[in-house]
Amino acid sequence: MIRIVIADDQPLYRRGLEIAIGLEADLELAGEASTVSDLLRSAFDHRPHVLLTEVTLSGESTVKACAAAVEASPGTKLVRLTDSEDPEDLFEALRSGATGYLLKSMHIAEIIDAIRQVAGGAVVVPPPMSTWLVAEISRLGTSPEADLSAPWGLSRREMEVLRKVARGSSNAVIAAEMFLSVNTVKNHVRSAAHKLGTTSRTEAALKAVKEGLIDLHDVDL
């Protein structure tokens, strides 16, 4: 059973999530919060698997409270729930420890699915924002000259596929560009993700960027 704490200052939205979670046999709403103090109390009392929270509650930032909650319960995964599609907000959320970034405009079924993915160890980012995230990561700087793929055991073809994933291309588009079948592309993505210790195509691309495996100067965003 996946225990969830929801922290949001909009009662109707919270109620909608509560109803949706209640319909799922493997999910349990352990607690709710509308203020930062309530968030801390609920997180400490219930030690949820997933803490689903807005960036601000009643005008007060939740960043420090969430950090304290996760420190007290290392098994808790932090998911940011927000209206913001600003890539800088996404980047900051991930830097502050979030492993999920969900838009309130997402269908409730997508949010429920994302909760399960995060609880299982995945990093979840809305697909349209993945390319933006790669662009933000480029500000950290990478070493264009370095070829660091060898220690990870990535093949030339896997690296090529990862570059296209970082660009934001779908498997179908990558297959057409590389004259491969979609299943072959999926196999390359799966293999690369496994070698990098990640669980999704987005995570694999981000890991490749962070490790300097992908030269963002060569990625046509």
Query: For position 205, which CATH number holds?
Result: 1.10.10.10
Q: How many of the other CB atoms lie within 10 Å of CB of 101?
A: 25
Q: What is the mean pLDDT of residues 51-69?
A: 88
pLDDT at position 208 is 86
Residues 47 and 97 both lie in one domain: yes
Residues 14 and 104 in one domain: yes
Same domain, 6 and 97: yes
Strands 2-7 vs 27-33: parallel, antiparallel or unpaired: parallel
Q: How confident is the model at residue 35 (pLDDT cuts 50, 70, 90)?
A: very high
Question: Would you say residue 7 has pLDDT above 70?
Answer: yes
The C-alpha atoms of residue 69 and residue 43 are separated, in whole angstroms, by: 6
Predicted confidence band at 38 (pLDDT cuts at 50, 70, 90)?
Answer: very high
pLDDT of 132 reads: 66
pLDDT at 46 > cutoff 90: yes
Question: Which residue stretches of the chain are H helix?
Answer: 11-22, 36-46, 63-72, 87-95, 108-119, 127-137, 156-167, 171-178, 182-195, 201-210
Mean pLDDT in the chain?
Answer: 84
Q: What is the pLDDT of residue 151?
A: 61
110 part of a folded domain:
yes
Specify the CATH number for the domain of residue 119. 3.40.50.2300
Same domain, 101 and 157: no
Is residue 194 domain-shared with residue 144, that is, in the same domain? Answer: yes
CA 56, 61, 63, 65: dihedral to nearest 10 degrees?
A: -100
- Give the residue-averaged pLDDT of 10-18: 93
**Which residue among 98, 125, 152 closes a domain?**
125
Q: Report residue 155 CA to chain centroid gap.
A: 26
Q: Which domain-ending residue is among 75, 105, 125?
A: 125
Count: domains in the chain: 2
How much is the pLDDT for 37?
A: 93
C-alpha separations of 187 from 99, 126, 157 in Å = 24, 22, 11
Mean pLDDT value across residues 121-130: 82
**pLDDT band at residue 72 using 50, 70 and 90 as cut-offs:** confident
Instruction: Please list, in sequence order, all residues whose beta carbon lies within 8 angstroms of the beta carbon of residue 169, skipping any fewer than 6 positions away.
Output: 177
Residue 18 lies in a domain: yes
Q: In the predicted model, is pLDDT for residue 125 greater than 50?
A: yes
- Whether residue 206 is found in the same domain as residue 141: yes
Percentage of residues in the chain with pLDDT exceeding 70? 87
What pLDDT is recorded for position 5? 96
Q: Categorize the per-residue pLDDT at 184 as very low, low, confident or very high, splitting at 50, 70 and 90.
A: confident
Select the more confidently predicted residue: 1 or 187: 1
pLDDT average, residue stretch 99-109 = 92
Is there a contact between 86 and 59 (Cβ–Cβ < 8 Å)?
Answer: no
Residues 104 and 171 in one domain: no
Residue 130 lies in a domain: no
Domain that holds residue 162: 135-218
User: How far out from the chain centre does Cα 1 lie?
Assistant: 21
Tell me the pLDDT band of 116, cut-offs 50, 70 and 90. very high
Last residue of a domain, one of 125, 157, 176: 125
Q: Taking 50 as the threshold, does the pLDDT of residue 214 lie above it? A: yes
Tell me what pLDDT residue 146 has.
39
Does residue 56 register a pLDDT over 80? yes
Residue 170 lies in a domain: yes
